[in-house]
Structure 1
Amino acid sequence: MEEVKGPLLITEKIMRIIAAISLVGMAAMTGADVFLRGAFNTPIFGCEEIVAILGVIAVGFALPYAHYQKSHIGVEILVRRLPRRVREPLELLTTLATLFLVGIITWRMFLYAGTLAESGEVSMNLELPEYYVVYVLAFGFFVYALCLLADVVKFFRKRGA
Structure 2
Amino acid sequence: MVNVIGVYLSVIGLVCLLAMSVAIIADAFSRTTFNMPIYGLNDLLEIITPVIVASCLPVALANKQNISIRFLGKALPVRPGQLIELFGQITALLVMLGIAFEVGRYTLSLFHYSQSTWLLRLPIWPSWVLATVLLAFCIPIQTAVVLDVIRDYRAKRAFKDPEAELLGQVEGKS
With structure 2 as the length reference, what TM-score do the two structures score? 0.79
Q: Do residues 129 (structure 1) and 123 (structure 2) align?
A: yes
Give the residue type in structure 1 aligned to 2:55: F
Matches within 5 A, 1:42-121: 42-121=36-115
| 1:25/1:54 contact within 8 Å kept | no
Paired residues of 1:67 and 1:144 also in contact (CA < 8 A): yes
Residues 23 and 58 of structure 1 are in contact (CA less than 8 Å); yes or no, is this contact kept in structure 2?
Answer: yes
Give 1:24's aligned residue.
18
Q: Are the aligned partners of 1:30 and 1:51 in contact in 2 as well (CA < 8 Å)?
A: no
- Tell me the CA shift for residue 52 of structure 1: 3.5
Separation in 1, partners of 2:71, 2:151 = 28
Aligned residue pairs total: 155
CA distance in 1, matches of 2:78, 2:21: 43
Q: Is the 2:50–2:131 Cα contact (8 Å) retained in structure 1?
A: yes
**What TM-score do you get using the length of structure 1 for normalisation?**
0.84
Percent identity for Structure 1 against Structure 2: 23
Higher share of residues assigned helix: 1
Residues 106/49 of structure 1: CA separation in 2 closer, same or farther (3 Å cut): same
Cα distance, 1:159 vs structure 2: 5.0
